[in-house]
Amino acid sequence: MAFARRTDDQMEEPVKKNRIQHDGMVKEVGTDSVVVSIVSCAACAGCKARGFCGMTESEEKTIDIRGRYNVSPGDKVTVQMEESTGMKAVVLSYLVPVLIIMGGLFVLQSLPVNELFAGLISIALLVPWFLILYLSRKKIERSFTFTLKT
């Protein structure tokens, strides 16, 4: 989870505790959407030695935000998402797959099955889950809404 730092011009507006925020820059402005670029940094990105160790990871991500906003390309904005939506993403992408693997292992270990075979089958059980996620991606995408705080 990334949390945005507040600048002086944002001090008037209190930060809502139930929102995930990240600073970004407007790349494009459409009639009913805004494309914002955010830089996702690894935990070591703030380290003073990051230029020397070669372990730094930062990745630029673009987010399409539906709605009309009074912004222009190059404006600095804050992208917001409800914290509950972030938790939903964690559950769908991490918790459910772990439960599928663990459940498969427990069931297959109770049967007279080779451990290697049980492990491979447990991992293979993820294929239907990720297929379900892929087929329902449009519905899931509609439930993950981002907004801008300008």
| CB 75 within 8 Å of CB 51 | no
Q: CA-CA distances (angstroms) from residue 142 to 25, 65, 79?
A: 23, 11, 16
CA neighbours within 13 Å on the CB side: how many for 90?
Answer: 6
Domain 1-11+19-81: which topology?
A: OB fold (Dihydrolipoamide Acetyltransferase, E2P) (2.40.50)
Average pLDDT, the chain: 78
List pLDDT tens digits, range 19-66: 778 888 889 888 888 888 888 665 555 565 555 454 556 677 888 888
Instruction: Please report, for the chain, the start and end positions of each structural domain, with discontinuous segments joined by +.
Output: 1-11+19-81, 82-150
Residue linked to tokens 């906003």 = 69
Residue 3 — pLDDT band, cuts 50, 70, 90? very low
In the chain, % helix, strand, coil (3-state, to 5) comes to 45, 25, 30
Strand locations in 30-57 (E): 33-41
Residue 74 — pLDDT band, cuts 50, 70, 90? confident
Euclidean distance between CA atoms 44 and 58, whole angstroms: 10
Strand partners, 19: 82
